[in-house]
Amino acid sequence: MSQTLTSSSQAVRTPAPARSPADRIAQWIPKLVLSPTLVIVVVFFYGFIFWTGLLSFTNSRMLPSYGLVGWDNYVRLFNNERWLVALGNLGIYAFLFIVICLVLGLLLAILLDQKIRAEGALRTIYLYPMALSFIVTGTVWKWMLNPQVGLEQFVQSLGWESFQFDWLVNPDFSIYTVVIAAVWQSSGFVMALFLAGLRGVDDSIIKAAQIDGASRFTIYTRIIIPSLRPVFFSAFIMLAHIAIKSFDLALALTGGGPGISSDLPAIFMYQLSFTRNQMGIGAASAMIMLLTVIAILVPYLYSELRVKKHD
Amino acid sequence: MASLNIENVEKSFDQTHILKGINMDIRDGEFIILVGPSGCGKSTLMNCIAGLEDVTSGSISIANQDITSVLPKNRDIAMVFQSYALYPNMNVRKNISFGLEIRKLPKDVIANEVDRVAKLLQIEHLLDRKPGQLSGGQRQRVAMGRALARQPKIYLFDEPLSNLDAKLRVEMRTEIKKLHQRLGTTIVYVTHDQIEAMTLADRIAVMKDGHIQQFGSPQEVYDNPANRFVAGFMGSPSMNFIEVLVVQKQDRACIELAIDGITHYLPTPDQEQRVRQMVGQTVILGIRPEQITHVIPHYDDNPGIARVDATVEVIEPTGADTLVLVRMNGQEVNCRVDPYEARQPGQVMTLMLNMGKAVFFDVDSGERI
Amino acid sequence: MTEHNQRRYSDISGRAILYALLGIMALYYLLPLALMIVTSFRSMDEIRMGQLIDWPTQLSLDAWRIAWDQAQIGARSEKGLRPYFINSLLMTLPAVAISTMIGAINGYVLSFWRFKGSNLFFGLLLFGCFIPFQAILLPHATVLGKMGISGSIVGLVFTHVIYGVAFTTLFFRNYYVTIPGELVKAAQLDGAGFWRIFFRIMLPLSTPILTVCVIWQFTQVWNDFLFGVTFSDPSSQPITVGLNNLVNSSTGERRYNVDMAGAIIAALPTLLVYVIAGKYFVRGLTAGSVKG
């Protein structure tokens, strides 16, 4: 190798000047600036999760106390009929909410993607409920679904005397009213996600398929919709997350009732912890909710990261 | 303007060694080009010189002052980036004067400096525009103007022309060369375009895998490559590499070349001494396409010239020359011939090899023999 | 009929069906809002006599007045939703400003001043976007008490900042990584330091994401109910809690017109933001979901 090592490097060389104190502080600024957030993450996120986990193994009632009781709270939790109802309700609610939102959102997005006039206005209309508080949504639907004054009474007064729509006050159906209101609020958001996804599909692929003679229906079912897989994934995660956290909507709409028929884990957790003085069990139920979120999130993140590595 | 000395500079990120002991002594006013494939460490070396990344070990000095641990702002270095990195929210005037303002120069000095640079680069009419309103070539000029305004000791150019279209690139290349001749500044310039390297550099440093493979004048690097990598990297189309056997023929060391079933024994006049030691072994013959031409009769007497007949497989006219693909020792070989002498594919053509310009490499290590 | 004509007719009827479907869906989404507005302008007498869907015979602002500052909500001495509305403003504005600022600086550091472990840090933060708040509710209540700010607006601001930072950081970080890092390098060589680069170069470039982030945070904080109901006392309760109390606390006859007027009052600020800057709202939703 002919690396040139000339001898001019033997010339007298001034040693490196020391960095001034100001410069040295400057080097620490980025870390310094991030440190409050680091405290937030370590203490308020993970520390508090750990703390909640700890509380779930104690005999805390109205105030935290630290007598360890092992798995007692979890045993009592899963022997509690109200919790089991809440879990079952969450299953029904989450399943229907996610499926209907995905189907409706995709359908609306595809319809809107047909070079529609006034697309902007329609999009605005489909999406505005997302700007509302769940409490507002609950208040409105509570009134509309009320059999005495709402839709049922309205349809009956139009002449269809036998019309019945009393889900709100019917213990067998009350959870479905939560689904109706939640879908109304969130499906527009799924539509927006899918629409963004549709607009991102490579145009040349569609043109290639058209040249190959594929019908519009085939292009959608065989090419476009499969390519939206990542959108399905993230929409699913968001919806599942909303469903598990659902608290305000059910509280405002049904209050968990009639009875406990539309109870959800988030309501259960809140009431046991803050109004029924059963902090230990409340903490245990919170941990179960967290684990559910993790159970959904981890496979998602895993698959996301794996895909990225393949790229 | 100043000299730049890089001594044993190493840089690693965790377990990855990017730079593995770089040594360079750059004289005051020299135009140095760093070339190499992507990932060879040339941009990292650039960032280390600028102080944007700390070196793991080794030292860097500017004008014989050690600046290894000096912050970038105190190194008195300016840099032109591939993406130009113009501040999008400031107009051209602000872009050029930003660094001067930070250094708290008096207002009138700044104004004069901006005017001087704008005149030099002919961008006076653009001073009040935002970067978003400029064409690629104009942005490039502004980026250079920003660097020139501070009159730093060293200029760093990080692939400054790679975002321009081909025509503009050639124009700007000439312009940078003129600028360097006029200002006589020390420039370190990274590129992956070997034509840029050949045309601009006083000296070229060819890098690969964190090492400098060769550091020398453009012609030196082109004619006398240190190893097979350098030989293959510089020049387009690339140098031909042919595996050949060295044999002894009538007291001379020759190489064996089979073309269309006929074996030729070609002498190696200039490198007799070195090749002689390799008799009986296989070596890599390196010969540039322009050393295999159509027959030029008055070259016949030069030592090392040999005529061979070969069947043309493919021709690629480039206008000035035509590239002819033939097969020697079963390997594809590019020849650069006169367009009017080139034969059609399938026809036999007589070619003239200038073995005097041939170079030889070790089969395994790729080092020059 | 020629084949060409057949195709044209089927196209036209297809478009008709398409528009009909879209129109019906628009009605489905609009109906509750329309009913809300109409009902809030009807008087209680009309509601008692009439129908769910009916035009008000005369525009009555009574329900609005009652909801705003006359309704007795719970045992409060101050009447109406007004104090709640003011609480919400006092809580939302600082919470949005602070969390956005922290997010901007965090995003700036995580994009341009990376250090060993900064990616891990970002990953840990990202997970924070998904924590169901029930899992931190109990310790947070204890800590707010220890800090002496439980049941106060300061405590609510503090809470919203803490649990909003994950999202705001995500927004800015994902925006800043699209800006070439060479810009920061150039500024460093020009002699600019950490803060000067942030305020002179990055912040002026951040208007779009700033808008997205402010709108997102505003909507989140304004619409929050869980923190509001858990960490406030009657003097600091936000509007969502106020509305819920209004709807559930009044004894005797349900005054639906008042409920609806209250609901609109609670929804008005976020609706307004949505109407004015809907584009950015949608961008925030998609950015927050696709990446988060």
3-state helix/strand/coil string of chain A: CECCCCHHHHCCCECCCCCCHHHHHHHHHHHHHHHHHHHHHHHHHHHHHHHHHHHCCECCCCCCCCCECCCHHHHHHHCCHHHHHHHHHHHHHHHHHHHHHHHHHHHHHHHHCCCCCCHHHHHHHHHHHHHCCHHHHHHHHHHHCCCCCCHHHHHHHCCCCCCCCCHHHCCCCHHHHHHHHHHHHHHHHHHHHHHHHHHHCCHHHHHHHHHCCCCHHHHHHHHHHHHCHHHHHHHHHHHHHHHHHCCHHHHHHCCCCCCCCCCCHHHHHHHHHHCCCCHHHHHHHHHHHHHHHHHHHHHHHHHHHHHHHHC
**Beta-carbon separation of C183 and B87 below 8 A:** yes
Amino acid at A91: G
Q: Across residues A59-86, what is the average pLDDT?
A: 84
B25 and A4 Cβ atoms separated by less than 8 Å: yes
Q: Is B103 on the interface with C (CB under 8 A)?
A: yes
Q: How confident is the model at residue A10 (pLDDT cuts 50, 70, 90)?
A: very low
For residue range A229-255, list pLDDT tens digits in order: 888 888 888 888 888 878 888 888 887
| A17·B3 Cβ contact <8 A | no
Q: What percent of chain B has pLDDT over 90?
A: 53
Question: In this predicted structure, what is the pLDDT of residue A103?
Answer: 94
What are the distances in angstroms from CA A71 to CA A4, A92, A172, A266, A284?
73, 27, 32, 21, 9
- B275-302: average pLDDT: 87
Q: Is residue A5 part of a domain?
A: no
Q: Which residue of C has its CA nearest to B155?
A: C189
A308 has pLDDT over 80: no
- pLDDT of A60 over the 70 cut: yes
Nearest to C61 by CA among C251, C265, C266, C269: C265
pLDDT at site C292 = 36
Q: What is residue A2's predicted lDDT score, i.e. its pLDDT?
A: 41
pLDDT for C54 equals: 67
Q: Tell me which of A23, A25, A27, A34 to substitute to probe the interface with C (most C C-beta atoms closer than 10 Å).
A: A34
pLDDT > 50? residue B167: yes
A49 touching C, CB under 8 A? yes
Share of chain B above pLDDT 70, in %: 99
**Pairing of the two strands B154-158 and B77-80:** parallel
pLDDT of residue A66: 79
Residue C192, min C-alpha distance to chain B (Å): 7
CB-based contact A14 B7, cutoff 8 Å: no
Best C10, C130, C143, C171 residue to mutate vs chain A (most A CBs within 10 Å): C130
What's the mean pLDDT in C142-156? 89
How much is the pLDDT for A97?
94
Number of domains in chain A: 2
The CB-based long-range contact list for B44-48 (8 Å cut-off, 24+ gap) reads: B44/B11, B44/B18, B44/B19, B45/B6, B45/B9, B45/B11, B45/B19, B45/B207, B46/B79, B46/B156, B46/B158, B46/B188, B46/B190, B47/C185, B48/B9, B48/B11, B48/B19
Together in a domain, A152 and A294:
yes
pLDDT at position A16: 61
Is B98 close to C190, i.e. CB distance below 8 A? Answer: yes
Cβ neighbors of C11 (< 8 A, separation 6 or more) are none
ipTM of model over 0.90: no
Task: Report the pLDDT averaged over residues B63-86.
Answer: 89
Contact C174, C287 (CB under 8 A): yes
Is the same domain home to A136 and A35?
no
Residue A10 within any structural domain of the chain: no
Helix axes A174-200, A81-112, angle to 10 degrees: 40
Residue B18: strand, helix, or coil: strand
Nearest CA in chain A to C106: A34
Q: Is B191 left (phi over 0), alpha (psi -120 to 50) or beta?
A: beta
At residue C256 the predicted structure's pLDDT band, cuts being 50, 70 and 90, is: confident
Same domain, A34 and A93: no
| Cβ contacts of B209 on chain A, cutoff 8 Å | none
CB contact under 8 A, C189 and B79: yes
One domain for residues A123 and A30 = no
**Whether residues A179 and A206 fall in one domain:** yes
Q: Which of B6, B45, B61 to mutate to test the interface with A (most CBs of A within 10 A)?
A: B61
Whether residue A8 lies within 8 A of chain B, CB to CB, comes out as yes
Q: Residue A16 falls within a domain, yes or no? A: no
With a cut of 90, say whether residue B205 has pLDDT above it.
yes
Residues B95-110: tens digit of each pLDDT: 999 999 998 899 999 9
Same domain for A154 and A250, yes or no, is yes
Separation in Å, CA C125 to CA A34, A38, C121:
12, 9, 6
Tell whether A127 is covered by a domain.
yes
Which residue of B lies nearest to A6 if distances are taken between CA atoms? B25
In a domain, A237, yes or no: yes
pLDDT at C10 over 80: no
Inside any domain, residue A8: no
The pLDDT tens digits for B223-253 are 999 999 999 998 888 999 999 999 888 778 8
A62 close to C (CB below 8 A): no
Residue with tokens 């073995």: B355
- In chain B, list all ranges with CATH 2.40.50.140: 240-361
Parent domain of A30: 21-55
Q: What is the pLDDT of residue C52?
A: 63
Kindly determine whether residue C186 and residue B73, on different chains, have CB atoms separated by under 8 Å.
no
At B278 the pLDDT is 82
Confidence band (pLDDT; 50, 70, 90) for A167?
A: confident
Which positions in chain B touch A26 (Cβ < 8 Å)?
71
Tell whether domain B4-228 is in CATH 3.40.50.300: yes
Q: Which residues of C touch B82 (CB under 8 A)?
A: 182
Q: What is the DSSP letter of C134?
A: H
Q: Does B83 touch chain C (CB under 8 A)?
A: yes
pLDDT, position A17: 62
Domain check: are A94 and A234 in the same one? Answer: yes
Does residue A131 sit in the same domain as residue A48?
no
Does one domain contain both A48 and A173?
A: no
- Residue B82 CA to residue B189 CA, distance in Å, equals 11
pLDDT at C71 over 70: yes
Q: Please determine, for residue A113, whether its predicted confidence score (pLDDT) is greater than 50.
A: yes
Residue C239 pLDDT level (bands cut at 50, 70, 90): very high
* Pick among 2.40.50.140, 2.60.40.1120, 2.40.30.10, 2.40.420.20: CATH of B240-361: 2.40.50.140
Looking at the structure, tell me whether residues A51 and A78 fall in a common domain.
no
A115 and A229 share one domain? yes
C229 contacts on A by Cβ (under 8 Å): 270
Can you say whether the dihedral through the CA atoms of B150, B152, B158, B160 is positive or negative? positive
Set out the domains of chain C in order of their start, with CATH numbers: 3-69 (no CATH), 73-290 (1.10.3720.10)
A30 with C138: Cβ contact below 8 A? no
Rounded Cα–Cα distance for residues B63 and C162 (Å): 51
- Identify which of B66, B211, B367 has the shortest CB distance to residue A13: B66
Give B143 to chain A, closest Cα distance, Å.
Answer: 27
> Quick check: C191 and B50 CB within 8 A?
no
Find where tokens 């869906």 sit: C25
- pTM confidence score: 0.84
List, for residues C80-138, the tens digit of each pLDDT value: 888 899 999 999 999 999 999 999 999 999 999 888 888 888 888 888 888 888 889 88
Q: Is the pLDDT of residue C286 over 70?
A: no
Nearest CB partner across the interface for B99, out of C182, C185, C190: C190
- A185 with A49, same domain: the answer is no
